[in-house]
Amino acid sequence: MSAADHPADHPADEPMDTAAFRALVGRHPAGVCVVALTDDGGAPVGFTASSVVSVSSTPPVLAFCVSGRSSSWPALAVARSVAVSFLALDQAALAERFAARGVDRFADGGWSRLPGGEPVVDGAREWVRGTVLTRVPLGSSHLVAIAATDHGGHRPEAPPLAYRTGAWAEVRPLEG
């Protein structure tokens, strides 16, 4: 058996310096999405996420991370389903709004509800609706995995919005 099979059997290495780690991962570009759901009272809840990843294609599973200090976490901690809207390059202002603290992120409109009540961003490149499979606490955050159950889109060919080194970024094909 390898160390990966039983990581608890081996002494832990010292953790990497937090500032160096944040700088390193900040330089790695990430796609930008809005994760949205409905709370127990029917109100929309959502946040900007640059941590959305494909976990499996069979069955289709996505995952994302959210801080335990996020204002969205209490609703997400008990939600049964969410919608993930994949943002286009021209939606940076919307991503900024859903990343802001202390504001009503849905007040300015620009969204609609799926039949299950989950909010999706109008004009998003694409969206995925999913049911929550698991929530795993990791450090100060939570990893949330969802089973993708439905999808749609408004502009699948629109250039995607990315985030890198603290700024919105563009993703382009290499010339060649």
Looking up tokens 């995952």 gives 63
- Domain span at residue 141? 31-155
Contact 81, 132 (CB under 8 A): yes
4-17: per-residue pLDDT in tens?
555 666 667 888 88
In a domain, 168, yes or no: no
Torsion of CA 109, 94, 65, 57, to 10 degrees: 90
- Residue type present at position 107: A
What is the pLDDT, as a whole number, of residue 3? 53
Question: What distance in Å separates the CA atoms of residue 86 and residue 111, rounded to the nearest whole number?
Answer: 13
Domain count, the chain: 1
In a domain, 118, yes or no: yes
What is the pLDDT, as a whole number, of residue 12? 74
What is the pLDDT, as a whole number, of residue 25? 85
pLDDT band at 69 (very low <50, low <70, confident <90, very high): very high
Look up residue 27 and give its two tokens: 């330089």
In a domain, 139, yes or no: yes
In a domain, 171, yes or no: no
Look up residue 128 and give its two tokens: 């995925």
pLDDT band at 21 (very low <50, low <70, confident <90, very high): confident
Question: What distance in Å separates the CA atoms of residue 153 and residue 121, rounded to the nearest whole number?
Answer: 10
In a domain, 112, yes or no: yes
b/e for 139-172, b at 16 or more Cβ within 10 A?
A: eebbbbbbbbeeeebeeeebebbbbeeeebbeee
pLDDT band at 151 (very low <50, low <70, confident <90, very high): very high
Question: What distance in Å separates the CA atoms of residue 155 and residue 138, rounded to the nearest whole number?
Answer: 34
Round the CA-based radius of gyration of the chain to a whole number and report it: 17
Instruction: Quote the pTM value.
Output: 0.90
pLDDT > 90: percent of the chain: 80
In a domain, 70, yes or no: yes
In a domain, 130, yes or no: yes
Give the pairing of strands 81-86 and 60-67.
unpaired
CATH number at residue 130: 2.30.110.10
Using alpha carbons, list the distances in angstroms from residue 55 to 52, 61, 81, 159, 164. Answer: 9, 5, 17, 23, 22
In a domain, 18, yes or no: no
Residue 131 has pLDDT above 60, yes or no: yes
User: Is 99 in a helix, a strand, or coil?
Assistant: helix
